Every structure is written in structure tokens, then in C-alpha cells.
């Protein structure tokens, strides 16, 4: 059996410093992040044969990024499954490395939701694409005003029903995230919060309160994965 754990490693990283970038496109943020991550790894564009990307725009693909950066990857992956896209990308890159399909991959993401005034998660889930062309179930759920936040709220309710989870327990996640943000000079919100702050804040979609929901920002980043 192949030892996946020791087959590859993350050798370079970059987090774009901006949280509000009205002067930049998602493509620019991704491009800058890729170059900086490669510099961190001590590599160049010529060393990269895999490019895995996602963004808040369905028009921003790995092929566009490769053209923008004058790169010629033999492996491109545009898998987009929301906030978990990058875990999928990492797994895909690892499997491709183990299979001998590539030696070095860059995983990158960008968003200009804040400067573009995109209320991520508050509109219908089909609005990020073309509503008339979206496959089910979005085309059916959209009719009733279900939002991305609403979908997560339903999941939270189900978790509470099955396991007895409380709002206070969910709040611990937001508290922990803010604790780590307080140590990050580039974080948008750095002030610590308490469980009480969370449960006493405005409800966005029951049982989710405002701090339970993802902050809408501009930004992006990249990681370099290479064979060990």
C-alpha cells in the first residue's frame, strides 16, 4: 500500500494581505498569491505542472489563471464545492502525485466579495451561476427563498436534533476562531468575543447568530504541494 502521508508535502504558502481590494480582480489576487507562494517554496513557475483553483466567480478558472501567469500545467482542477474546495484540491493533488501524474502543484483561491458588495450566503444559492441553467435541487429551493445561510441553519438544526447540540456549544467555534484572529495582524476582526456575545447577538437564520457566519471579505491565498 502506498504511504500517502509521506508521499508529498506543503512546501510553500502565501495569504494575500488584503481584506478590501477594490483595485484588484480575483485573477490578480490569485496570480500574486501563486507567485508569492512559489517564492516561499524557492520554486518558479516552470516547476509547476499542476494548478488547482477555485474562486467566488465561476468564470475564473485554472485555464484563465495559467494563461494570465504564462504557465503550462499538465494538470488543471477547477473543483468547486464551497468552503471545502481546498480539501478536495489537496486530496486530488496528493493522489495525482502518488499516481505519477505530477510533481508540483499549486492550490489557490481568491474572492472580491466585499469590494464587489456581494452578500455571500444571503441570496439564493443559484444566483452565483445562471439560475435558469442550474441543476436541481437549487432550481427548486430558489423558489422558496432558501439561502446558503439557511441551508447551514437547517444542518445545524439537524445536528441539534440528533446530538443535543446547543447554541452555546456552536458559539465555541466562533470564539475559538476570533481568538486565533486576535493573533493575526491581517485579520479583519481581532477583538476577542465570548460565548455570551455570540448567543446574544443578532440571529441571521435560526439557530445561527451573526458571529456564527462567515465574514465577507476580499482576499485569497495559495499553497504549493510537491512530491516528497
Let me know whether 87 and 195 are in one domain: no
Residues 6+ apart with CB under 8 A from 102: 49, 50, 73, 74, 75, 93, 96
Q: Is 152 in the same domain as 68?
A: no
Residue 128 falls within a domain, yes or no?
no
Q: Of the given ranges (113-117, 151-155, 188-192, 205-209), which has the lowest mean pLDDT?
A: 113-117
Q: What share of the chain is helix, strand, coil (3-state, %, to 5)?
A: 45, 20, 40
Q: How many domains does the chain have?
A: 2
Start-to-end CA span in the chain (Å): 17
Range of lowest pLDDT (44-58, 132-146, 189-203, 208-222): 132-146
Q: Are 12 and 223 in contact (CB under 8 A)?
A: yes
Same-domain pairing of 8 and 108: yes
Beta bridge partners of 104: 226
Task: Name, in order, each residue with C-beta under 8 angstroms of 183's C-beta and a sequence gap of 6 or more.
Answer: none
CATH number assigned to the domain comprising residue 107: 3.40.47.10
The pLDDT tens digits for 72-125 are: 999 999 998 888 898 999 999 999 999 999 999 999 998 888 887 766 655 554
| Domain-located, residue 142 | no
Q: Residue 126's pLDDT band (boundaries 50, 70, 90)?
A: very low
pTM of the predicted structure, to 2 decimals: 0.82
Q: How far is CA 115 from the centre of its chain?
A: 17
Q: Which residues of 158-170 are buried (b: 16+ CB within 10 A; e: fewer)?
A: eeeeeeeeebeeb
* Euclidean distance between CA atoms 94 and 101, whole angstroms: 10
Q: Which domain holds residue 160?
A: 147-212
Helices H / strands E in the chain, number of each: 7, 7
User: Are both 91 and 62 inside the same structural domain?
Assistant: yes
Amino acid at each position: 500500500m502506498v504511504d500517502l502521508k509521506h508521499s508529498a508535502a506543503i512546501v510553500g504558502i502565501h495569504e494575500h494581505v488584503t481584506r478590501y481590494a477594490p483595485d484588484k480582480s480575483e485573477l490578480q489576487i490569485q496570480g500574486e498569491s501563486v507567485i508569492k507562494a512559489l517564492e516561499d517554496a524557492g520554486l518558479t513557475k516552470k516547476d509547476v505542472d499542476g494548478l488547482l483553483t477555485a474562486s467566488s466567480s465561476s468564470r475564473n478558472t485554472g485555464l484563465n489563471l495559467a494563461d494570465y501567469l504564462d504557465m503550462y500545467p499538465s494538470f488543471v482542477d477547477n473543483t468547486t464545492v464551497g468552503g471545502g474546495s481546498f480539501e478536495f484540491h489537496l486530496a486530488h493533488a496528493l493522489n495525482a502525485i502518488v499516481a505519477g501524474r505530477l510533481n508540483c502543484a499549486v492550490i489557490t483561491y481568491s474572492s472580491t466579495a466585499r469590494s464587489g458588495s456581494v452578500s455571500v450566503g444571503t441570496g439564493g444559492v443559484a444566483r452565483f451561476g445562471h439560475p435558469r441553467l442550474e441543476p436541481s435541487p437549487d432550481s427548486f429551493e430558489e423558489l422558496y427563498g432558501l439561502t446558503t445561510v439557511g441551508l447551514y441553519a437547517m444542518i445545524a438544526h439537524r445536528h441539534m436534533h440528533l446530538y443535543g447540540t446547543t447554541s452555546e456549544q456552536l458559539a465555541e467555534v466562533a470564539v475559538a476562531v476570533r481568538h486565533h484572529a486576535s493573533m493575526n495582524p491581517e485579520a479583519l476582526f481581532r477583538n476577542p468575543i465570548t460565548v455570551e456575545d455570540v448567543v446574544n447577538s443578532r440571529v441571521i437564520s435560526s439557530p445561527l447568530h451573526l458571529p456564527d457566519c462567515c465574514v465577507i471579505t476580499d482576499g485569497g491565498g495559495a499553497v504549493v504541494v510537491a512530491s516528497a
